[in-house]
Structure 1
Amino acid sequence: MASLSLKHQFIKSTLVPFIVVAVLIVLMLGAADYAARQEQSDEMLQQRASAVRLSFSAYLDRAQFEAKYLAQQLGDSGNLDSLFQLHDVLFFGGLDFFYARMSDGEELVDPRARLYTADTLEMLANQARLNFWVHISTSDDGELLVYKQVLPTDELGEVKGYLYGFISLNNNLALASDLMAGAKVDYMRLEDVAGKTLLIDQQPYYANDVPFVTHSGVLVVPALANKFSLELRVIQPLSRILNQWLVLACSVILIGIALLYWLVQHYAGRWMFQPLSAMPLRSSHEGTSYLEFEPLVAQMDRFQTQLRAREQHLQLLLDSLKSAIIFCDESARVTALNKEAKTLFPEHATVKTIFDMTPLEFHQPIQGALKGDYGVRFELEAKDVNKIYEWLTYSFVNEYGFRGVMLIGRDITEVKRLSWQLESLYPSHSLDRPQPGPEALLKEISLLERYADDEQEVRAERWLMVIGRLLREVSQPAILSSESKALGQLLSESLEGIRSALMLSPRQLSNLTLDIPLTIAKQKASWSSDHAIWMQTALLLCLSSNISGRRLQIGWSEGVLTLTVGGASELTPALEWMLETIPKLIKGRVSFEGAGRIVLTATIPPIKESEQVGEFDNKKVALIENTFPAIERVELLLSSVGIQAETFGSFNDFLHSNSAFMGSYDCLLVGLGEAQTRDQGIAQLNASCSMGQSLPLLYLSESEVSEHALTVLQYQLFSYHFAKMLNTALQAPPISMQHLVEQKDHWILLGGTALVQAVWQSELDELGIIARKEPNIDHLVSRLRYSERTVVLALDLVVAQQLVEMERVNDQVTLVTIEDFAERPDTMHFFDTAAQLPDSETVARLCQQLNS
């Protein structure tokens, strides 16, 4: 049943009448103001219509004066040239053009007439009236006003002719501007009696969708023979419709009504609802003036008495149990404890949350319970009271709708003591170790029926052998390692143990990714056999998947070790049993996050000492890809351990790179890809080393293992193992590429096209000669000053002429050109290739010439 508030009902009931009264008052004021303003608008438009008539009459008077003036000047001169010298009159007058017809039949036509009409002016002039303006329409839709003015008489008193002045109404901006300015309106339209529009104009801001007032009437001007229809419009936006008086009056009325409404609500709440709200807090023994609520107060008193009695019963029950019970709210604040829990945690009254009074092993299960985990079990030794408790966590929803946590701790000190005594008497038996049930083993064995061919059957048998060994180790007592060990070493041993037991090839593990930072992998801890089983189980979860993106991500923070398995497929019965059992042995837990993601956590505090691995300050390595597929993972690992790496696509790129000869490399990482070029390059590097000295060489392979150097397989590309292998490889002295150059002839190719350089380089490689290309000779002089047994080959004439300046740089440097020129010194050899690309015979002949 829904609850109703009397106060809210009162507010709603009284609000509507106040709103209705306010709206009616505002509407009445608005209607009165509108009627008054409408009357004022009609009078205003009448005045503006009169202003239009005056402006129109003034414009016609100005045009009439111009016509009389022109008629006087024309009567005196008798030609048009004298008239067009009157610029001020023609420019500022009201006429658009004129036409004169002399008494002798001569016609004087204003050239501007053709801008307004193509009709003959004689025909138009026939419609004019003397001393009146007449409206006429032309055949080309022109609307004109024509005025007829008599010319002065001659000496005999005869009229010399007539002048006809014309005003165009089509787009007459001057006339429209005068009329709009005089009337001060926003829109004006002038029509003849037939309804034909003669002149229309409006303000730029005018729009038909804006409210406006309009006036329509007849425009009568004394000098105009015709009558026109006039329409005027004045916009009235909201700012014009609402005057200041109306806005002020409405504001005052609304404020007064709102104040009155507030007073009604305030005194109603003070006199009515406050006593009603306080009434449930009063006892029936306290006097009250509300008789209607006395039965309700009496019933509430009975409920409160019953609730206090039940709380006492519950507290007595909790205190009588031989278990420690703690209740927490959604923020991990302790809300209730029984007597056993208070004895176990005497500082409960001064702490803010349960995390402040419990050890680190408590935190993760409580956090999981707050997220919804149910029935998590873990053990904890209370050293202050010399007892061992087995704790269970349960989540529940409290009275406020939030998730709370209840922790129940059972004293198992005596059980543990008896178990230890039995184990000391019968050490071959594990009384408190979990034992796998026969159903799990039978279901695991039934997997053999899924495989038809012999190869898959053999693989299933190996899998069952590994599962059987792990189940046997789980059922036996845990063995604690005598020495601390790094996490990375535990991972490496577990991985190799699983791989050898399953007899998996390195290629079958190539899509397995182990993601563990080196700083975490170096941390040490005291591991037990249960931890090793836990790590192997996580690896089996990855290996049992058919998904290509198998990944194991490892983190270790605040004493909590986290293994996140990515890409896990359907679990086998044995793996399900181990995921349920092993966390109980190592104070851990398991959560399934969906999409093949399983998170395993355990509380394992690390020791302060960490393994000294991965110290690579100022180390530089050369990375030769050589078709190794996981080169990006190698680059990422090198970057994570702080090693500067320079990547080359193949050994040819490395041996012929300019940057490779600029310095030395602390280690050479070589992909076991294309074998011939790799072996030739390694042979050249070995030949450059001193007797008995080894190369700092580390092979990278997907499946092949080299017999002559350290090899890192693709599945072993995780930080700890990679850093250990690098540390071993870096024991050898660095590789000096300049030292390699000094051991045998070294050629430098300059100039020529890319094709010519590539052919020469290929032919020299066939003879075992190291040849590299230089883009220019700007920095070559300083590098060749201390070089030995170097041949500089110029492949075009421009470079050969530039090499003349280098002839005396070093006696060990031999200059050769394939294009002769007059300034060639004797110390520069010329070899004629007949403008052909070299072959093996040509290159051999050149080498023979240089050695002779």
Structure 2
Amino acid sequence: MAQVELSLYRLFKRRTVFVLATVFLLIGLCLMFLLEVLNQSSVEKSLVLKHRMVEQALSSYLVRAEGEMRFIGQNLSYADYEPDRELDMLFSHHDVLFRGGLDFFYIDWLNAKQSMDPRARLFTKVDFPPLLKRGLINRWVPVLTQDEATLLMRKQPLISSEREIVGFLYGFISLNDNLTLANELLESASLSSVQIVDLNSNHILLQESRVDVDLSTSVLRSRLPLISAVYADLQLAIIQKHGFTSAVVMSSLPLLAVVFFIISGGYLVLMRLVKVSVFAPIEKVMCGESEALLPFSELSSIQRQSRQYKSSIEAKERRFSLLTESIECAVLFCNEVAEIELINTEASTLFPEASRSRTLFDFMPILCHQSIQEALRGGVGVTFDLTISNVGLIYQWKACPFENESGYRSVLFVGRNITRETSLTWQLAQLTPLSSAIEKKVDTDALLSELSYLSVLPGLTDARALQGWLLLLTEVLHDISCDDNAVSYVPMGEVIRQESSRVMSAMGIESSRALLDCNVESSVKVVAVDRNTRNLIRILLMSVMSNDMAERRLTVAFDGSEWELTAISDSAVRPLFHWIIRMLIAPLNGQLKTLQNHTLKLNFHLEEHAAMPVVSLANKVVAWLVNDYYRADVVTESLARLGVQVIVYASNDGFFTQSGAISQFDTVMIGCDQDVKAQSDMTRALKLKYHRDDLPIVWLNSALLVDTDPDVFALQGCVFDYSLYQVLERSCALESMVTSQLNTQGQFWLMIGGSRVVKAVWYNELERSNVTTQWLTDLSHYHVTLSYHTETTVVLLEPQPAELLRTIQSAFPKVRFFSLQRWSEMPDNVTLFEMSWPYSGDQIQAFTQNVMQQTIVQQTVANDKDGE
């Protein structure tokens, strides 16, 4: 991860700004706090004045209530009204009664007669006589009733016109939810809340707050004694909401502006002083601008170390310059984009245009551009020879990539004069009498390269393969050096078969390792074959079989005038094979071409004779038992090209259980890769079944067998059209294997379903009873078998669809169905013969005898009907 460079000066500026901003913020907060404290002190002083204003508002309210009581008293004393009608008289003056401060009144006459204001029951439910005893004449007294009604009561005497006291008038002011009084008290001084407390009883007489004010925030409180007409020790508590107002901020802005300008000026002065006093000397030291030592003790050691380091670098550069000029080599240094960084005198002499060029590619020849690019990409060990025509010299250049002081790749090119060495090498080469090609001797380097290639090849790691390969190679090299060139006339297909068998036998490899393409028409042509022709085919087979390519194929074709051999292998990059092929094709006057994907194409002429007659194999029925044979599809395709009718069976068991529908086989081909015993057992079983040894049986093995059955035909060499044609021609000449003759000797049963164990048990027991069987998984393709066996006995080892069984019965009425187990929806045309699991030999024999007896009875009845 790249390290990020930081500017020390900018870092200092950012940190200084942060510190000064913090100081400015703290000063601003302190100023606003101080202004807020002063503002709060002023507001608290104003609360005392508001306390007096609330007292005046309360006194005014009480005076209004007293005036209302005087009005009532005058009317009661001097008005003319009927007895017991004083309340009607008073309420006729409702414009006065309902506009005063009095909530209700009570009249106590001396003649034991009382009159109560009906509004009294709106405020309390208690009896008034006990309550009236607390009253004081012309004094307001706080009263707390039993139903928690808080009242102010005032007692006033009623004086008649004769100046006698005739009774008492009691006036009441309710303090519970008295919105009129509370509103007057709050509005008198613009308060948020007001509270009147009786200190004697420690009871709150009145407490009201504004609805739109939240008292949970910052508020100011004041508690002072209440001076009023109430005869009690009262205390008035007032609350006013007080918050951080914008006036504080606005009043602090001028001071903050002054502080900001002072701090900004100090910041600019500080930055200038630091830059001039600290960073400027440091920059001079680091850049080497100052030759004399600076008078700063902190920087003197850095300056001395920088001078020492600079002197050391200059000394190294001088020594390196002397070194590049003293050695007898051309030296070039370039950076990662091929720009020239250093060139010595010898290199400048070789490339005079280098001083006018920007990169190496501008003056270096195009032939060496690829090598230069490889070195620039970091390639190690890059060397190239360059002939410089203007001076007539040959230089060998070596590229050495390295990482420079900036962390990028640079390349050193060192050129050494090899003109004299090249000249001597050429002269020594001229002293050699004959080249290896003329002497027909293999190059030792090519042989060692081939052995190194084979040592890492996965398919040729055992000793036998390498020994066989060396034996074949020795024979080919011996034939090349030999002048004997005897000619024999052999079909081309026979030559290919013999050589492939020889290569397989010597190297011990499988026939499926290489694919051979040679049709029968070309294979039967009789040509003049000498050592070179055989060795050419042999060496091509060796090259195809001894490589690790995905496709290994040798194609032999005759186009009417010449033979064409195409080998898909890596022999084009294996110098040993390439040299041998050139040596072998030269006497044949042929041509050798290398196509794409390392494919070799050879064209040459051979003397021809009349072709061998080709026997048609059309309509021949061949049973192909694949077993574990590798690449069985190649054999199947080749048989199809020969025109035979191929019936493929996956295994020996499949042949026994499924071949009953075929009337005869002209040849039975048994494939094998590893399980040789199964191949022998199958051959032995067929001999016992047909009671003869000369059966048309062909063995196809992946590897050559040491011991083979003398009565069978074993295909030798690789599998291709001609080898199959040759072995089929001989096997088809024998008597065919007629399965219909076996079927007439006994009965034919069709067995449906069953596991492998069940099939083995039933097969052995039925074979003892001379019953021929064919095994099918189900009856989906019943018409293929029942068309040849219309009177078949079908044994159902597993349940089958009822509708399908009825369809088969209607198509083949003489077919009989037997089931060994009952299942739901079993049709009526199926005969049940229950057998317990597992099936034993006695049960199977009993079932077989029962079915045979039924067959005999049916045949007898049918014969009697025919006789009538």
After TM superposition, is the score higher than 0.5?
no
Determine which structure has more spread, i.e. the larger CA radius of gyration.
2
The TM-score, its normalising length taken from structure 1, stands at 0.40
